[in-house]
Amino acid sequence: MDLGLNGKVALVTAASRGLGRAVALRLAQEGARVAICARGKKQLEKTAAEIVAQTNQQVLPIQADVSDPRAADSLIRSTVERFGRLDILVTNAGGPPPGQFLELTPKDWEIGARLTLMSAVRLLYATVPVMKKQPESSILAITSIAVKQPLPNLVLSNSLRLSVIGLIKTLADELAPFSIRVNGICPGWTRTDRVDQLLRDRAERKLTTLEEEAAEVAIDIPLGRMGTPEEFAKAAAFLVSPAASYITGVSLLVDGGMYRGVM
């Protein structure tokens, strides 16, 4: 199926590694020009060069920390200056600090809110006026399976990501008259570098191996394994593409069946 992404312009934030990188690469493979951002210049430029080498598409790397209140405006401005338009926004950021409620402080909540909620809010304020002039635009927020099923030791993620879902569900309604679709995508266990590091830490603590820890995680997943960033990216590319023209306001789980609830 042709997703209809050829010639589109996309901004994917937090995309030098992991899920963001995989989504940017997939969109470029489908013919989109992409802007990507991350905090570290070296890895960002390496990723941009890899995407260009694999797809021959134009890629704009922009060094930015999405938790910086000034980042959103400058990201959108740079993307539009370079490519003349913006059809697709994929909001992503690093995960908020882990911890149980009593281990964290209100200050941690403020840091987490800046990273997880306000980065998306500011990106949307900067993006919507541009997209309103361009019907058939699309926004996708990367969240987590935590919005369906709270995860242990992640109270900030469990709480703040639900605000993002409330935001996109509301905007799906408010922006539909402008033909702007707004969706969320919720990864379950997906084998990125960050997940490998987490499993390595667990293995060190428990005197096991990384693969033993990966196998233990997989016990709870009906498909019997973690997902790959590429599998996640295919679902994300579909949701932002014209092929999903009648889908707005959903939060799609990409979790190998791990969430057992019916709703």
**Position 91 contacts ligand NAD (CB under 6 A):** no
Contacts 24+ apart (CB under 8 A), 59-62: 59/24, 59/28, 59/33, 59/34, 59/35, 60/33, 60/34, 60/35, 60/36, 61/35, 61/36, 61/37, 62/35, 62/36, 62/37
120 burial (CB, 10 Å; 0-12 / 13-18 / 19+) is: buried
Q: Which of 46, 78, 85, 95 binds ligand NAD (CB under 6 A)?
A: 95
**Position 97 contacts ligand NAD (CB under 6 A):** no
Q: Report the residue closest to ligand NAD, judged by CB.
A: 18
**Position 20 contacts ligand NAD (CB under 6 A):** yes
**Position 16 contacts ligand NAD (CB under 6 A):** yes
Q: How far is the CB of 63 from ligand NAD (least distance, A)?
A: 9
**Position 202 contacts ligand NAD (CB under 6 A):** no
> Angle between the 18-29 and 229-240 helix axes, to the nearest 10 degrees?
60
Give the nearer residue to ligand NAD in terms of CB position, either 180 or 183: 183
Q: Which of 24, 60, 93, 182 binds ligand NAD (CB under 6 A)?
A: 93
Q: Which residues bind ligand NAD (CB under 6 A)?
A: 14-20, 37-40, 65-67, 92-95, 115, 142, 144-145, 187, 189-190, 192-195
